[in-house]
Amino acid sequence: MKVVAGRAQDLDDLRDMRVRRDEVGFVQRYLDALSEKGTNQEQIDDAVDVLETLELHDHE
Protein backbone atom coordinates (compact mmCIF):
# COMPACT_ATOMS: atom_id res chain seq x y z
CA MET A 1 0.00 0.00 0.00
CA LYS A 2 2.84 2.38 0.80
CA VAL A 3 4.31 1.82 -2.64
CA VAL A 4 0.99 2.70 -4.26
CA ALA A 5 0.38 5.71 -1.99
CA GLY A 6 3.93 6.88 -2.59
CA ARG A 7 3.79 10.01 -0.46
CA ALA A 8 7.03 11.32 1.02
CA GLN A 9 6.12 9.86 4.42
CA ASP A 10 5.51 6.48 2.73
CA LEU A 11 8.94 6.67 1.13
CA ASP A 12 10.44 7.38 4.57
CA ASP A 13 8.60 4.34 5.94
CA LEU A 14 9.74 2.11 3.07
CA ARG A 15 13.34 3.14 3.70
CA ASP A 16 12.98 2.32 7.40
CA MET A 17 11.36 -1.04 6.60
CA ARG A 18 14.50 -2.18 4.74
CA VAL A 19 12.55 -3.91 2.00
CA ARG A 20 13.85 -7.29 0.78
CA ARG A 21 14.11 -8.48 -2.82
CA ASP A 22 11.43 -11.12 -2.38
CA GLU A 23 9.06 -8.47 -1.02
CA VAL A 24 9.62 -6.36 -4.11
CA GLY A 25 8.71 -9.36 -6.24
CA PHE A 26 5.50 -9.74 -4.28
CA VAL A 27 4.60 -6.06 -4.74
CA GLN A 28 5.41 -6.30 -8.46
CA ARG A 29 2.95 -9.17 -8.85
CA TYR A 30 0.38 -7.19 -6.84
CA LEU A 31 0.81 -4.20 -9.17
CA ASP A 32 0.37 -6.46 -12.22
CA ALA A 33 -2.85 -7.75 -10.69
CA LEU A 34 -4.05 -4.20 -10.05
CA SER A 35 -3.34 -3.36 -13.64
CA GLU A 36 -5.39 -6.30 -14.86
CA LYS A 37 -8.24 -5.21 -12.62
CA GLY A 38 -8.33 -1.86 -14.38
CA THR A 39 -6.59 0.40 -11.85
CA ASN A 40 -5.48 3.67 -13.40
CA GLN A 41 -2.27 3.00 -15.35
CA GLU A 42 -0.73 6.32 -14.33
CA GLN A 43 -1.06 5.27 -10.68
CA ILE A 44 0.52 1.90 -11.46
CA ASP A 45 3.41 3.55 -13.32
CA ASP A 46 3.94 5.87 -10.39
CA ALA A 47 4.09 2.92 -8.00
CA VAL A 48 6.59 1.19 -10.29
CA ASP A 49 8.72 4.32 -10.15
CA VAL A 50 8.75 4.04 -6.37
CA LEU A 51 9.36 0.31 -6.40
CA GLU A 52 12.30 0.54 -8.77
CA THR A 53 14.05 3.15 -6.69
CA LEU A 54 13.91 1.23 -3.42
CA GLU A 55 17.19 0.25 -1.85
CA LEU A 56 16.95 -3.51 -1.45
CA HIS A 57 18.21 -5.62 1.42
CA ASP A 58 18.94 -9.33 1.16
CA HIS A 59 19.07 -10.18 4.84
CA GLU A 60 17.66 -8.83 8.07
Partner 1 sequence: MSKQLDNLIRQWTQIGAGFSAEPDGMTPDLERLLLDTARHAHEMARLFIMAATWLHRYGDLIAKHRLKRLIREELEPEYRPVLGLLLDIAQQRTHPLEFQSVLKVINPATHPRPLFSIEASNERLARRAQRKAGNISRRWNLWCSQIEFKFDAIRPAHWIMRRNSGLIIRGDLRGDLRASVLASLRFDPGAGTSEVSLAEASGGSRAQVRNALDNLELTGRVRRLPNQGEKKRRTVVELAGAKR
Q: Which residues contact 16 (CB under 8 A, 6 or more apart)?
A: none
Among 1, 38, 53, 59, binds partner 1 (CB under 8 A): 53
Does the footprint of partner 1 cover residue 19 (CB under 8 A)? no
Contact status: 42 vs partner 1 (CB under 8 A): no
Cα distance between the two ends of the chain: 21
Task: Give ∠ CA 39-41-43 in degrees, rounded to 5.
Answer: 80
Q: Which of 4, 11, 24, 44 binds partner 1 (CB under 8 A)?
A: 11
Which positions touch partner 1 (CB under 8 A)?
6-9, 11-12, 15, 46, 49-50, 52-53
